[in-house]
Amino acid sequence: MLHTSDMGSLDAEGWIYLADRSSELILRGGSNIYPAEVERVLHEHKGVAACALVGKPDARMGMRTVAFVQPAQPDADETQMREELIVLCQAQLARYKTPDEWIFVTEFPRNAMGKILKPVLRERVAGAAQVAQPVSSSPAS
């Protein structure tokens, strides 16, 4: 038996279809979101050079989705691109799979093989979530 942490399905003819890695699965409000599915849609936009979808901790939803996008042109209009990407996602994906937040980057952190380092991106959004949460203080006695 082979254990790869990949998630997928097996069809009636015995073909295996990989969806994503289980470690990258985003649980948002009780629904499963596979980043690779959303990333495939984002890559259809001609202005996207690279992209990655990660989860961000959220007290209400469990996780929120954050799309990191590297525009193909450095002078791209990020507001317009965001709007176009939202329309593209809404046309091809279930509504809950459209990213909640968008972050545009000039480049991605990558490993020696050129793969995007998603743990670095997850740390970035988790750190932002911690900063944004209110700090509770106990009353003075």
Q: pLDDT of 52-69, one tens digit each? A: 999 999 999 999 999 999
Q: Which fold has domain 19-131?
A: GMP Synthetase; Chain A, domain 3 (3.30.300)
| Tokens linked to 79 | 């507001």
Distances (CA, A) of 92 to 59, 96, 110, 133: 28, 12, 28, 33
Categorize the per-residue pLDDT at 127 as very low, low, confident or very high, splitting at 50, 70 and 90.
confident
| Tokens linked to 44 | 């259809």
Categorize the per-residue pLDDT at 8 as very low, low, confident or very high, splitting at 50, 70 and 90.
low
99 vs 134: which has the higher pLDDT: 99
Q: What is the pTM of this model?
A: 0.76
- Residue ranges covered by each domain of the chain: 19-131
pLDDT digits (tens, 9 = 90+) for 77-95: 999 999 999 999 999 999 9
Mean pLDDT of the chain: 84
* Backbone Cα Rg of the chain: 17
Q: What is the mean pLDDT of residues 87-109?
A: 97
110 half-sphere exposure, CB direction, 13 A CA radius: 11
Helix, strand, or coil here: 87?
A: helix
User: What's the pLDDT score for residue 18?
Assistant: 53
Q: What is the mean pLDDT of residues 43-57?
A: 97
